[in-house]
Amino acid sequence: MERILIVDDDPGFRNLLETILVGEGYGVENAGSVSEAVRAGGRRKYDLVVADLKLPDGDGLAVLRWWTENMPETPVVMITAFGTVASAVEAMKLGAVDYLGKPLSSPDELRLLVRKTLDQRQLAEQFQLLREEDAARFSCGDLVADDPKMARVLDLARRVAPTNTTVLITGESGTGKELIARCIHKNSSRSQRIFVAVNCAALAPSLIESELFGHEKGSFTGAAGQHLGRFERAHGGTLFLDEIGELDGNLQAKLLRVLQEKTFERVGGTREIAVDVRVITATNRNLKQSVADGKFREDLYYRLNTFPIEVPPLRDRSSDIPRLARFFLGRAARNLAKPHLVLTPEAEKVLLAYGWPGNVRELENTMERVAILCDDVIEPDDLPVTSSGPARPVLFRDIERQAIEDALRANEGNRTKTARQLDISLRTLQYRLKEYGITQSRD
């Protein structure tokens, strides 16, 4: 049974509304003031609140504000007497879903308004539930993405995964571009089919075409038999082309044709082969600049860049560093049967201050090395990196410290507000405050 709270100090009008709504099968409770309404809201949840704008100890806006702040999922309808429609419109700007005229023009006016509002609430709840279920189904294994910048990357991956859209993943080396590509594949309709990864930079230029498209027997010296290329192997699945910016002009043209026509020919072949492949590409280059320099086809760039995802460098998602470090250390510790390995806060501080030019890959390798060399507690001196890492020079530190001090002053020393303004986690801010010896702050 859907429950409705009526807030009105006029007993006659309140009883009229209750009679109509009870007759429709709703559970109805009454309150005659702001204080009574708030007490009722503190005792139980309601599916709808109907509140008069004029109450003896305040106005209906106080009721609206309380529900907006404490139970924003509960819709509030305002009751307005003739001549105060402007006030009701103002209430809707503040969050009310609708308003009801007083006196009622007919019982149906109330019935229709309540049913419409409750139906809209139910649809909103169902939509939110579907979004939550969709997010729960979306899984990227052990990928750490607490930082807002990385969480945005995962949100983009979640949205594009169910489609067949071509994705271009950009970012520095070691940021995890292939991991994002695998995440997209895993959460797509092709997840039960093969994922084929090709590092275009790791193949000799003379072999890339054969590797991608295959070759026929005798098509070149050493071609002793027919060879299926990566496109054919990936049929029905996903083909990940890493370092796509390394392809020469000839291969760029052939790749564009496959993307547009879904067909290709093997090297030395004459038969067109149809293929169903979802293509995800990645690069650490600025492809737009490569286009401007005449090194990359503009038409191919726009075809690949249908859905771009930029993976931030580790130094720009520093709030993820401690958790990533503990994850990599824990995995290495299990492999080495060293269950007591732990990072001290001081060691975490060094990890946070270092610039990580090799990004997540460098952090993973660092933790593996530390796990081999240490047996229990890991101190700063045990780390093969220092807080004076290459990406955090003195000039950067001076700028960062000044930015933190300015933000603290603007927020009167409040660390929570300061972290929000700087778009970093509170924990990262606390590390920075300790690192720079900044004391003018409060919780």
Residues 226-242, mean pLDDT to the nearest whole number: 91
User: Is the pLDDT higher at 429 or at 39?
Assistant: 39
Q: In terms of Cα–Cα distance, which of 94, 93, 100 is closest to 117? A: 100
How crowded is the C-beta side of 338, counted as CA atoms within 13 Å? 20
At 392 the pLDDT is 40
Q: What is the mean predicted confidence (pLDDT) over 268-282?
A: 91
Helix (H) or strand (E) holding 264: strand 263-264
The least confident of 54-63, 357-366, 383-392 is 383-392
Instruction: Write out the DSSP string of 258-318.
Output: HHHHSEE--BT--S-EE---EEEEEESS-HHHHHHTTSS-HHHHHHHTTEEEEPPPGGGGG
DSSP state of 245: G
Per-residue pLDDT, 395: 45
Q: Rounded mean pLDDT of 7-27?
A: 92
29 C-beta neighbours (distance < 10 Å), count: 16
* Confidence tier at 168 by pLDDT (50, 70, 90): very high
Beta-carbon neighbour count of residue 352 at 10 Å? 21
**DSSP assignment letter at 243:** S
* pLDDT value, residue 397: 55
| The pair of three-digit structure tokens given for residue 439, joined into one six-digit string | 């004391």
pLDDT at position 311 over 90: yes
pLDDT confidence tier of residue 394, bands split at 50, 70 and 90: very low
Return d(Cα 283, Cα 361) in angstroms, integer.
16
The pLDDT > 90 percentage for the chain reads 45
Contact of 300 with 255, CB cutoff 8 Å: yes
Using alpha carbons only, what angle is made at residue 364 by residues 315 and 420, rounded to the nearest 5 degrees?
Answer: 30
From CA 2, how far away is CA 233, in angstroms rounded? 56
Reading the block at residue 2, the tokens are 């859907």
Residues 6+ apart with CB under 8 A from 381: none
Structure tokens at 347: 């060691």
177 vs 179: CA distance, rounded Å: 5
Residue 224 pLDDT greater than 80, yes or no: no
Domains of the chain plus CATH, in order, are: 3-131 (3.40.50.2300), 148-310 (3.40.50.300), 314-382 (1.10.8.60), 394-436 (1.10.10)
Closest CA to 272 of 286, 281, 261: 261
Q: What is the mean pLDDT of residues 383-410?
A: 66
Tell me what the mean pLDDT of segment 36-53 comes to: 91
Neighbours of 402 (CB within 10 A): 11
In this prediction, residue 298 carries a pLDDT of: 95
Distance CA 374, CA 116 (A): 65
Question: Is 70 exceeded by the pLDDT of residue 136?
Answer: no
Residue range 348-362, pLDDT digits in tens: 989 998 999 999 999
pLDDT at residue 428 in the model: 66
Q: What is the mean pLDDT of residues 42-69?
A: 88
CB 115 within 8 A of CB 75: no
Give the full edge-to-edge strand order of the sheet including 238-242.
Answer: 195-199, 238-242, 278-283, 167-170, 307-310
What's the confidence (pLDDT) of residue 257?
Answer: 92
Query: Which two three-digit tokens encode residue 258?
Result: 């496959």
State the pLDDT at residue 159: 93
Paired sense of beta strands 98-102 and 167-170, if any: unpaired
Does residue 178 surpass a pLDDT of 90?
A: yes
* Range from 8-12, 63-67, 205-209, 339-343 carrying the lowest mean pLDDT: 205-209
| CA 77 to the chain's CA centroid | 34
Q: How far apart are CA 303 and CA 374, in angstroms?
A: 49
Give the SS3 label for residue 40. helix
Per-residue pLDDT, 393? 38
Higher per-residue pLDDT: 54 or 184: 184
Give residue 279's pLDDT.
Answer: 96
Asked, as a colleague might, if the bond just before 72 is cis with ω within 30 of 0, I would say no
Residue 400: predicted pLDDT: 67
Cα(382)–Cα(22) distance, integer angstroms:
72
